[in-house]
Amino acid sequence: MSNHTPKSMDAIMSLCKRRGFVYQTSEIYGGINGFWDYGPLGAQLKKNLRDAWWQDVVMGPCWGRKGPNGRPVSVVPVDTTIIQHPKTWEASGHVAGFNDPMVDCRETKGRYRYDHVQVFVPASGERGDKPVFAYMGDTPSEAKQRKKAEKTFGEVTSVALSSLPQPWDRVIGPDAEKPGSLTEPRQFNLMFKTYVGATAGEDDKAYLRPETAQGIFAQAKNVWDTTRVKVPFGIAQTGKSFRNEVTPRNFTFRSREFEQMEIEFFCHESEALAWYAYWRDWRMEWWKSIGLAGDNLILREHEADELAHYSKATSDVEYRFPFSAPGYGELEGIAYRGNFDLSQHQKFSGVKMEYNDTERGEVLPNGSRRGERYVPHVIEPSAGLDRGVLAVLCEAYTKDESRPSPEFMKIHPRLAPIKAAIYPLVAKEGMPEVAEKLYEEIVQRFGRLGFIEFDEKQSIGKRYARMDEAGCPFCFTIDGETLTNQTVTVRSRDTGSQDRIGIDNVAGFLAEKLG
């Protein structure tokens, strides 16, 4: 299958369900829109991706590569709460600005993101007094409305709803039957609200965080005051975020509860653009390193008119998902945010967010520096963990009809939830005993990285097929020959090849392959 033929999202979702990667939340109650659970394999895959990020960002930042200042990169972690002081979100701009303009449908009570609604109109431009058909891209409404529009007009083309003059008396809503049901656009705040404490009055109103970043900003001063970090340095955090997305869709891509992996990197203004370029390039390389290579992955620099008012430069790491192809969907945004966030928290809290940089300022007669006080500038690489998992699943899904089991998941060995399977060819003739001994050794050595599978039931072909779908890179089979010459069969997921290696070399083989 060429990279350019979109894979079937239905096939990927069905494998994810069948093998226990992703389930619909509350499926037994009919599900709840915008929420997804991970099954055993998915939970481990997600953990492995989070661990890979943590390892490469916090424990060994940027693979030990020096920063633009010629020194090792310094990053420390925090773990802040989902509920922050409500003023946090006034300072961050989320209370006032975290809005999507929406249109409601009076007929169906549906609510749609204004900038996502498209309309099928006649290609000729002649519509007389006939109604036109609105739809949401990538949803069942698109095919349904296209059919109706073609029946009415013959050849059709699509335009943005926003390009049609209001009132939209002749527009039929995406799921409606009659024209004129769409309201004018209105603002809709995406933050989930809750109440802290028993009284549940307006004064106790709080929000579930829509991003993990603000917890980092709110603690930045504590971090530089209480630890030995010096600017430039980063603070990293992973955790859940919540957005009451109006149109959750595309599997886990746009969910209402999701996990982020965010870094706020603090530096002096004079070095900010160099650090921005450094993080942007390294983050792109990192996504490549976990298996998203090839032209499905791009780095896209934002145009000046796309930038947030406080941002001097932003780029996105984007992946070509089957549902976005030929376009791309954002995995991570890397933004130079100036010192907007810390300045805002300084303003709203009254607490000075200035850092005293003793390595700057004029040199005094005694050779020391006077120091410089400033509100640090920030580079923010902000990634979505669930979107990362989805990209890994989409990239991994491979169909090859020439194989006995055509579907397999080429998950990068570092992320694979099952690292290896140990199989006795048959459950007799002493093979299970040898296999169990090898299994114990491999679990002891590699069990901290992921699951090690042991199974002696079913034909070996069926067992290999199951591991192919689970994305397990290697199976080791103990057979008759093992008993005579201490070799085992290594069966590779990606090539289907079978080779023999010494049973004593299995651990070494895995150590090399799992990296």
Which of 325/507 has CB closer to ligand ATP?
325
Which of 331/438 has CB closer to ligand ATP?
331
What are the tokens at 58? 């916090």
Q: For the CB of residue 257, give the shortest distance to ligand ATP in the complex, in Å.
A: 8
Q: For the CB of residue 427, give the shortest distance to ligand ATP in the complex, in Å.
A: 44
Which of 239/417 has CB closer to ligand ATP?
239
Q: For the CB of residue 331, give the shortest distance to ligand ATP in the complex, in Å.
A: 5
Q: Which of residues 311-330 bind ligand ATP (CB under 6 A)?
A: 330
Q: Is 109 exposed, middle or buried (0-12, 13-18, 19+ CB in 10 A)?
A: exposed
**Which region among 25-33, 102-110, 111-119, 252-260 touches ligand ATP (by CB under 6 A)?**
252-260
In this structure, which amino acid lies at residue 287? W
Calpha distance 3→171 (Å, rounded): 38
| First vs last C-alpha separation in the chain | 28
Q: Which of 258, 282, 323, 355 binds ligand ATP (CB under 6 A)?
A: 258
Q: 169-199 as b/e, with b when 16 or more CB fall inside 10 Å? A: eebbbbbbeebebbeebeebbebbeeeeeee
Q: Which of residues 216-245 bind ligand ATP (CB under 6 A)?
A: 243, 245
Q: Which of 486, 481, 473 is nearest to 421 (CA)?
A: 473
Cα torsion 151, 152, 156, 159: sign: negative
Residues in the chain: 515
In this structure, which amino acid lies at residue 50? R
**Which region among 255-263, 342-350, 400-408, 442-450 touches ligand ATP (by CB under 6 A)?**
255-263
Q: For the CB of residue 21, give the shortest distance to ligand ATP in the complex, in Å.
A: 16
Which of 121/390 has CB closer to ligand ATP?
390
Cα torsion 403, 407, 413, 417: sign: negative
Q: For the CB of residue 210, give the shortest distance to ligand ATP in the complex, in Å.
A: 8
Binding mask 461-500 for ligand ATP (x = CB under 6 A): ----------------------------------------
Sheet containing 171-172: order of strands: 156-160, 117-122, 132-136, 171-172
Which of 175/332 has CB closer to ligand ATP?
332
Q: For the CB of residue 363, give the shortest distance to ligand ATP in the complex, in Å.
A: 41
- Which residue's CB atom is positioned nearest to ligand ATP? 384
What are the tokens at 349? 């809290």
Q: For the CB of residue 174, give the shortest distance to ligand ATP in the complex, in Å.
A: 20
**Which region among 25-33, 336-344, 364-372, 377-385 touches ligand ATP (by CB under 6 A)?**
377-385
Which of 214/255 has CB closer to ligand ATP?
255
Calpha distance 42→35 (Å, rounded): 14
260 binds ligand ATP, rule: CB under 6 A: yes
Q: Is the separation of the CB atoms in 68 and 57 below 8 Å?
A: no
The HSE-up count of residue 84 (CA atoms within 13 Å, CB side) is 24
Cα torsion 44, 46, 49, 52: sign: negative
Calpha distance 498→491 (Å, rounded): 4
Q: How many residues bind ligand ATP (CB under 6 A)?
A: 16
Q: Which of 122, 179, 333, 473 binds ligand ATP (CB under 6 A)?
A: 333
Binding mask 177-206 for ligand ATP (x = CB under 6 A): ------------------------------
Q: Which of residues 154-173 bind ligand ATP (CB under 6 A)?
A: none
Q: Which of 336, 358, 370 is nearest to 266 (CA)?
A: 336
Q: Which of residues 380-409 bind ligand ATP (CB under 6 A)?
A: 382-384, 386-387
* Contact footprint for ligand ATP (CB under 6 A): 211, 243, 245, 254-255, 258, 260, 330-333, 382-384, 386-387
